[in-house]
């Protein structure tokens, strides 16, 4: 992170208007004369089938790398469309839904806790963390990637309450 660089993470369940908020923040900071770099949502570029352990690990690792890259740039503001914690909520759901009865469960859950510990150490790199609330209206917007299941979205949102809310600053 360059001296005096501001880093903002925008987090929340899918369909919560995170990207809209990121673009609003970007425009505000640019209008105020700041240079801005946006770390776009990583999940949309994942080459693996979403909802799998391998995909969740790929997304998490690429989010961290994208943030490290952004922080190395000579810009005033870095805005992240998601935080390193976000993907872990989806990863935990994958573990609970698909791996629970699998013999590899212990290995996968240990890996999740390792990534979670690393994310906890990484969270202080955000100067501000903005959590977007669950938005059931936006959840239904035509988007081939975004799951439309309200129960699933509410579950992921609850995981944010448990694991991420303590980092929210704005």
pLDDT of residue 2: 55
pLDDT interval class at 31 (50, 70, 90): very high
pLDDT of residue 57: 93
Helix residue ranges, H only, 51-95: 53-72, 84-94
Encode pLDDT of 94-144 as tens digits: 887 765 556 677 788 888 999 999 999 999 999 999 999 888 886 666 666
Q: What is the domain-level CATH number for residue 130? A: 3.40.50.300
- Residue 115: exposure state from Cβ atoms within 10 A (0-12, 13-18, ≥19): buried
Encode pLDDT of 34-88 as tens digits: 999 999 999 989 999 888 889 999 999 999 999 999 999 999 999 999 999 998 9
pLDDT of residue 153: 87
Q: Say how far apart CA 84 and CA 117 lie, in whole Å.
A: 11
Query: Domain for residue 103, yes or no?
Result: yes
Identify the residue whose tokens are 């923040």. 25
In this structure, the number of other CB atoms found within 10 A of the CB of residue 61 comes to: 14
Indicate the number of domains in the chain.
1
Looking at the DSSP assignment, which residues form a beta bridge with residue 81?
A: 10
Query: Domain for residue 69, yes or no?
Result: yes
Domain that holds residue 26: 6-167
- 46: CB partners within 8 A, 6+ apart: 55, 58, 59, 62
Q: Say how far apart CA 58 and CA 146 lie, in whole Å.
A: 18
Query: Domain for residue 54, yes or no?
Result: yes
Query: Domain for residue 67, yes or no?
Result: yes
Spatial contact of 5 and 129, defined as CB atoms under 8 Å apart: no
Strand positions, DSSP E, 55-154: 77-81, 128-131
Query: Domain for residue 1, yes or no?
Result: no
Query: Domain for residue 34, yes or no?
Result: yes
At 136, list the tokens: 């059931």
Q: Say how far apart CA 126 and CA 11 lie, in whole Å.
A: 12
Q: Say how far apart CA 1 and CA 41 lie, in whole Å.
A: 20
Query: Domain for residue 150, yes or no?
Result: yes
């Amino acid at each position: 992170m360059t001296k005096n660089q501001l880093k903002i993470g925008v987090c929340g369940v899918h369909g919560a208007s995170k990207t809209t908020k990121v673009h609003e923040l970007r425009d505000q900071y640019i209008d105020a004369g700041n240079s801005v770099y946006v770390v776009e949502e990583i999940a949309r570029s994942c080459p693996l089938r979403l909802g799998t352990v391998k995909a969740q690990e790929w997304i998490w690792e690429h989010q961290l790398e994208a943030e490290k890259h952004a922080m190395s740039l000579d810009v005033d503001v870095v805005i992240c469309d998601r935080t390193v914690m976000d993907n872990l909520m989806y990863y935990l759901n994958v573990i609970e839904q698909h791996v629970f009865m699998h013999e590899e469960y212990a290995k996968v859950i240990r890996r999740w806790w390792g990534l979670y510990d690393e994310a906890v150490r990484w969270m202080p790199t955000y100067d501000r963390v903005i959590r977007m609330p669950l938005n059931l209206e936006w959840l239904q917007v035509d988007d081939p990637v975004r799951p439309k299941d309200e129960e699933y979205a509410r579950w992921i949102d609850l995981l944010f309450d448990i694991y991420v809310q303590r980092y929210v600053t704005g």
